[in-house]
C-alpha cells in the first residue's frame, strides 16, 4: 500500500493531482491529510490543542484536524493502517522547497519521516 499525504490540506489541488496519478497506476493507496493544512510544520509531531481529531474516514481517504504530515506518516508506518505502507508519496506542493526553508517544509519532513521508518519516499 502507498500512503499519499501533503502539508497543504486534504483539499489542495496538488494532493488531488497526486491521487489521480496514483489511481492511474492502479496502485493500492490511502490518503491521509490535514483538513486545513499545516504548511511549514516541519518535523512537528505535537498538536496545538489536545490530540488529532478524525474529521472524515473512507476506505481510501482519511482527513484529520490537528495532525501534521510527519505525524500522519509516523502513525501509518507504525501500524495505524493494515497493511503498513511500503512507500510514501508527498506533495505536490504549492510552494517551493528550496534553501534554508526546506528545514521547515512539512512536505519534505513527511518524506524524511517515511525514510526513517524504512518506507520508500518520493
Q: Is 68 among the domain residues?
A: yes
Q: Is 108 among the domain residues?
A: no
Residues with Cβ within 8 Å of residue 14, at least 6 apart in sequence: 6, 8, 91, 92, 93, 94
Q: Is 19 among the domain residues?
A: yes
Q: Is 24 among the domain residues?
A: yes
Min mean pLDDT across 46-60, 65-79, 108-122 is at 46-60
Q: Is 120 among the domain residues?
A: no
Q: Quote the pTM value.
A: 0.83
Mean pLDDT of 79-87: 87
The rounded distance, in Å, linking the Cα atoms of 32 and 6 is 8
Read off φ and ψ for residue 55, nearest 5 degrees.
-95, -35
Q: Is 42 among the domain residues?
A: yes
Domain count, the chain: 1
Indicate the pLDDT class of residue 76, thresholds 50, 70 and 90.
Answer: confident
Higher-pLDDT residue of 58 and 7 is 7
Higher-pLDDT residue of 51 and 28 is 28
Domain that holds residue 74: 1-47+64-91
Residues with Cβ within 8 Å of residue 89, at least 6 apart in sequence: 2, 3, 4, 5, 18, 22, 121, 122
pLDDT at residue 102 greater than cutoff 80: no
Amino acid at each position: 500500500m502507498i500512503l499519499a499525504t501533503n502539508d497543504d490540506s486534504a483539499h489542495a489541488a496538488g494532493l488531488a493531482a497526486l491521487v489521480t496519478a496514483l489511481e492511474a497506476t492502479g496502485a493500492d493507496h490511502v490518503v491521509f491529510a490535514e483538513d486545513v493544512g499545516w504548511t511549514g510544520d516541519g518535523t512537528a509531531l505535537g498538536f496545538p490543542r489536545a490530540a488529532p481529531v478524525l474529521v472524515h474516514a473512507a476506505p481510501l481517504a482519511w482527513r484529520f484536524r490537528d495532525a501534521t504530515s510527519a505525524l500522519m506518516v509516523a502513525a501509518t508506518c507504525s501500524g495505524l493502517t493494515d497493511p503498513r505502507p511500503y512507500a510514501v508519496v508527498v506533495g505536490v506542493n504549492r510552494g517551493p522547497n528550496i534553501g534554508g526553508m526546506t528545514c521547515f517544509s512539512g512536505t519534505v519532513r513527511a518524506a524524511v519521516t517515511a525514510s526513517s521508518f524504512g518506507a520508500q519516499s518520493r
